[in-house]
Structure 1
Amino acid sequence: MIRVVSVENMRKSDARTIEGGIPGRELMLRAGRGVFNSAEWKPPVAILCGSGNNAGDGYVIALLLHKARIPCELILLSEKFSEDGAYYFAQCREAGIPVRQWESGMDLSSYGTIADCLFGTGFRGEVRGPAREAIEAVNNSSATVIAVDINSGLNGDCGLADLCVHSDLTVSIGDFKTGHFLNMAKDVMRQKVNIDIGIEPVDRTFSLVEETDLAELFGPRKNYSNKGTYGYTALIGGSKRYSGAIRLAGLANAAMRSGAGVVKLAVPDVLFPIVAPAVLESTVSPLKDDGDGIVFSEKETTELISNVRTAAFGMGIGTGKGAADMLEYLLDHFTGRLIVDADGLTLLSRMDKNRIRNAACTLILTPHVKEFSRLTGLSVNEILNSPVAAAEAYAKEQKVILLLKGPATIITDGETTYITDTGCAGMATAGSGDVLSGILAAVLGYAPDPLLGTAAAAWVNGKAGELAQEKYGAVGMVASDTIACVADVIKSIK
């Protein structure tokens, strides 16, 4: 796991470190040295500096470039300096490093590398004035752009920006912040690394999931095992109007490719002739219907879940009375792990929250932002501007595991929070969420820890999507292409 922190946590941790005896000047030196060592510097180098400690890191970088005889120049947007920044700026002056003031219309096209030291992680709001002009000039240049700590203009907690620097490399300092992964982050950072400068967090942290964290879960299987060892899974969904979610996305295939022992595909009887010919390794359980969607039967549902460890409910099932009654029954009587997605989330949003909080099962919810808005009553903007806090608050209050979909995925039970950074633009296509539900249902059939198992499924789903995009491109790939890559991803985990 890679440690991830909030901006406030980093601010307090930085202050505590200084109080503990490591001078801010020393931390600034470590930061500048770390950035210098992390990048390749094509001369000449322009270092754009604002007024805070982020600018101070830039002054250290300039000194190191000068010492390495790499031509560089400081471009200042402000003549205000932090105390530690002023110390290193004075050294730059003494060393004879060229210094220029930013001028409107300045052309940055002659530089080989630009270091972005305008704003740090504490920046909020809209970029205005000379800083806006400077960021636009950076983005219009052909230089290699190195962003120090975070891309100037980008919110360090939520990864949103009105305007921000687009970087070839972002060098995070101390620890990654959530804004390095969420919302717009992938679109504005080509690569990112973190450098440790000796700051220990004082508050609770989050964890970015790495491939090595999943090795034990997807490790070698014993010969002395059988299909029951890896779990019976039920995938419940589909309606005459929405047959694709349970069929086209290949949920049963995704679940089997993800290691499920046995998969039952439970669909309205009207879909049986369509689904059955495509099912080989799995089984089909027809459910009573009214010619469109399911009609709830307690006897059928009891038989369906009698021997399953996990069930995924909601993919294309509709929001009629039959589906609602079935979901209520599952919440009250199923004691395994229940994944609720798509239409199931809409049904949940109409229920008394006490029913969710008091569910007999381990409940895993997989909303995208709009679905989460319906569940919580928060606006989409409120969620986007504070996704981790919103996810944690809901998960803790409702006693669920929440998987909040996005360019990076947030997985939390309200106490422990994981982030997965796999996935790609090509997954913004119909059926991608249904594929995730199939993978999730499989993995939770044999994962000892349901929270880590949920994070593992999200990681695998995103990585499989990346492989599919490599093959078909972001425009041409479809959800079933992701399914085709699942087995390769799991096989490659070391």
Structure 2
Amino acid sequence: MKIFSAQQMRMADEATMVSAKITSLELMERAATQIFNLIHSRLQGSPIMIHVFCGIGNNGGDGLVVSRLLLEHGYNVKTYIVNFSDNRSKEFLSNYDRLKEIAKDWPMQLKCKEDFPQLKREDMVIDAIFGIGLNRPLVSWVVSLIKHLNTSRCFMFSIDIPSGLYSDKAPDDPEGVIFANVTVTFQLPKLVFFLPETGMYTEDLQVIDIGLDRNFLMQTPGVGILINKNEVLPLYRPRHKYSHKGTYGHCVIIGGSYGKMGSVVLATKAALRTGTGLVTAYIPECGYEVLQTSVPEAMVIADSDDELEEITLDFKPSAIGIGVGLGTDEKTIKAFGEFLKENESPLVIDADGINILAKKPEFLEKLPKKTILTPHPKELERLIGEWKDDYDKIKKTKAFSKQHDCIIVVKGANSIAVHEDQLYVNNTGNPGMATAGSGDVLTGMITSLLSQGYDSLHAAVFGVYLHGSAGDIAIQETSFEGLIASDIISHIGAAFIELFKTPTIEEQQEK
């Protein structure tokens, strides 16, 4: 599923009005009707009090239509106009007049703190104050209104985007944004819902189809792609009957140092579980017995005693994952640089491998094209420098990817694979995966896919998806708190099976 920017959504609206020969008012009615249908399907005529807070632009216009439709279907509704400016869109004014025609009580005008209504916790709030077009700081009393709504603890339902959020930068006041239980956005998701600083304001994201022009949607590339089962299933490479272990590649996991051998154990096990034919672990001597005992399916090459001082292979692996538990001893850094000079295999670099690149930026010139880097936030900061917000982080990551022709997996709640200007936003995974060794597992999985012949971008995208999916399956047995990295490995097979499961009727209805 594509991810659109605010500007692209405006262009999609305009293209739809032209192709369908409808007015903006008719398009607003169509969109708001879909929102009403969703609310009505959930409330089923419940007698709860619904408070609809409308801005004075088109997002407010959507709110006015929803308010009118709720009243027409017998719901208890109070409507409020948030008067933060004298400017009103014509669509807002038209729907304001239509609402007044049927409402027993006209909408209440809010102009200052003294106008704020008292809310009960069992009430519902529909937030239609600002949409994705917000581009200026909020006046102080509107910020206070948003804080008032948040402290009410009502069920919060935001139209398009939680009010107070920009679509292209972090909010001015982190507390001046609606914390929405549900956000309904139109047609396609937006990046704002998947970045740490802004995604936190939406608990449940619903994307509703409002019939925007299909040709425009198909032909416009978007700013990214939201990765779900439909996107990754075509990437899957089925195994054929007359194959053998050599068919599925030989990957090497290079890493480990005294006290950090567990990282290599996890990455090696994950590589095997993800389907590579052969795995060799290249480690210091101190980890030899650990690896041979923990992963009997793997082969082991041992270097010096406590850390790697030389990295030489007498064969060409299908893919190499390097960096997990590696350490940053001077001898190891030198060995890493010499390895990069000689290496011709596709690479996945993680952990201390990334830290070494940050210390020795001249090593970046030696990376094979489409090398995959998998940093956590602090490792990414060492690599690209500090950022002012998540949007700046993405901008700098794109620039780094272009400059060095590499793929960067920005790990997080929604891990994002960045390749030049395109973003691939993962939609699997859960908070339980914020645990030691989870990243080592991901490195092993991506390296495994790379060794099986997946191209670098597909290996990164598919690996991140499977990693999150395995974690999602695992927590059904472990809980968030009880999940450890080994549980993710244990459920990689189930994640592959999940790709081909047909959803039950209940699952389809829930979706």
- TM-score greater than 0.5 by the shorter chain: yes
Compared with structure 1, are the counterparts of its residues 157 and 425 closer, same or farther at alpha carbon in structure 2 (3 Å cutoff)?
A: farther
Q: Give the aligned residue type for 1:4.
A: I
Mark the CA change 1:344 to 1:232 in structure 2 (over 3 Å): closer, same or farther. same
From 43, 58, 63, the equivalent of 1:58 is 63
**Per-residue displacement from partner, 1:207-241 (whole Å, max 9, x unpaired)?**
11111332244464222111111111111111014
Structure 1 residue 271 and structure 2 residue 278: aligned?
no
Contact 2:162 2:183 in 1 (8 A): yes
Q: Is this contact kept in 2: 1:159–1:181, CA < 8 A?
A: no
Residues 1:165 and 2:178 aligned together = yes
SS in 2 for 1:73: strand
Query: Normalising by structure 1, what TM-score?
Result: 0.90
Instruction: Map 1:157-196; keep pairs closer than 5 Å.
Output: 157=168, 162-163=174-175, 164-184=177-197, 187-196=200-209
Tell me the residue number matched to 2:340: 331
By how many angstroms is 1:389 displaced? 2.6
Q: Does 1:294 align with 2:308?
A: yes
Q: How do residues 92-491 of structure 1 correspond to structure 2 at under 5 angstroms?
A: 92-96=99-103, 98=105, 99-102=107-110, 103-104=113-114, 106-109=117-120, 112-123=123-134, 129-157=140-168, 162-163=174-175, 164-184=177-197, 187-197=200-210, 198=212, 200=216, 204-218=222-236, 220-247=238-265, 250-287=266-303, 289=304, 291-297=305-311, 301-303=312-314, 306-353=315-362, 355-357=363-365, 359-377=367-385, 379-382=386-389, 384-491=390-497
Q: Give deviations 1:293-315, integer Å, cap 9, x for gaps.
A: 11115xxx232xx2311111101
Amino acid in the other structure paired with 1:88: N
Q: Distance in 1 between matches of 2:36 and 2:378?
A: 42
Q: 1:171 to 1:268 in 2, by over 3 A?
A: same
Identity fraction in percent: 27
Distance change in 2, residues 1:216/1:282 (3 Å): farther
- The residue identity in structure 2 corresponding to 1:115 is I
237 and 358 in structure 1: CA distance in 2 versus 1, 3 angstrom threshold: closer
CA, structure 1 residues 393+101, in 2 after alignment: closer, same or farther (shift >3 Å)?
same
Deviates more, 1:131-140 or 1:236-245: 131-140
Are the equivalent residues in 1 in contact too, given 2:432–2:479 (CA < 8 A)? yes
2:504 maps to which residue?
A: none
SS in 1 for 2:296: coil
Q: Distance in 2 between matches of 1:121 and 1:420?
A: 22
Whether the 8 Å CA contact 1:331–1:361 is kept in 2: the answer is: no
Report what 1:37 is aligned to. 37
For the residues of structure 2 that align with 1:317 and 1:393, how far apart are their CA atoms?
A: 27
Task: Look up the equivalent residue of 1:162 and give its one-letter code.
Answer: P
Distance 1:336 1:415, change over 3 A: farther
2:267–2:443 contact (8 Å) kept in structure 1: yes
Residue 117 of structure 1, CA deviation: 0.7
**Unaligned 5+ runs, structure 2:** 501-511
Q: Is the 8 A contact 1:335 1:361 kept in 2?
A: no
Candidates 68, 83, 87, aligned match of 2:90: 83
CA 1:447–1:151: 2 relative to 1, 3 Å: farther
Residue 184 to residue 480, structure 1, CA distance change in 2 (3 Å): farther
**Structure 1: segments with no counterpart, 5+ residues:** none
Separation of aligned partners in 1, 2:404 and 2:38: 43
Q: Is the 1:336–1:362 contact (alpha carbons within 8 Å) kept by the matching residues of 2? A: no
Per-residue deviation, residues 267-314 of structure 1 (Å, max 9, x unmatched)? 111221232211121111112x2x4211115xxx232xx231111110
Segment of structure 1 superposing worse, 396-405 or 328-337: 328-337
Alpha-carbon distance change, 165 to 481 in structure 1, aligned in 2, over 3 angstroms: same
**Deviation of 1:34 (Å):** 1.9
| Structure 1 position 72 matched with structure 2 position 77 | yes
CA distance in 2, matches of 1:158, 1:423: 25
Q: CA deviation at 1:145?
A: 2.3
1:16-27 paired onto structure 2 within 5 Å: 22-27=22-27
- Residue 126 of structure 2 aligns to a residue whose secondary structure is strand
Q: Is the 8 A contact 1:255 1:263 kept in 2?
A: yes
Distance 1:337 1:11 in 2: 41
Alpha-carbon contact 1:157-1:177 (below 8 Å) kept: no
Offset from partner CA, 1:94-130 (integer Å, 9 cap, x none):
1225312345453221664221111212336766633
Paired with 1:424 and 1:360, the residues of 2 have a C-alpha distance of: 32
Q: Comparing 410-419 with 154-163, which one deviates more in the overlay?
A: 154-163
Residue correspondences, number: 481
| Cα distance in 1 for residues equivalent to 2:392 and 2:254 | 32
Residues 173 and 97 (structure 1 numbering): CA distance in 2 closer, same or farther, change over 3 Å?
A: farther
Judging changes above 3 Å, is the alpha-carbon distance between structure 1 residues 387 and 10 closer, same or farther for their aligned structure 2 residues?
farther
TM-aligned CA deviation for residue 457 of structure 1: 0.5
After superposition, the Cα gap between the structure-2 partners of 1:69 and 1:443, relative to the gap in structure 1 and judged at 3 Å, is same
CA contact (8 A) 1:218 1:493 kept: no
What SS does structure 2 have at the residue aligned with 1:386? helix
User: How far apart are the structure 2 equivalents of 1:33 and 1:225?
Assistant: 54
Q: Secondary structure at the match of 1:381?
A: coil
SS of residue matched to 2:117: coil
2:52 maps to: 47
Contact 2:251 2:317 in 1 (8 A): yes
| Partner Cα distance (1:422, 1:159) in 2 | 24
Q: Call closer, same or farther: CA 1:470–1:140 in 2, change over 3 Å.
A: farther
Q: Would the aligned equivalents of 1:62 and 1:97 in 2 still touch at CA under 8 Å?
A: no
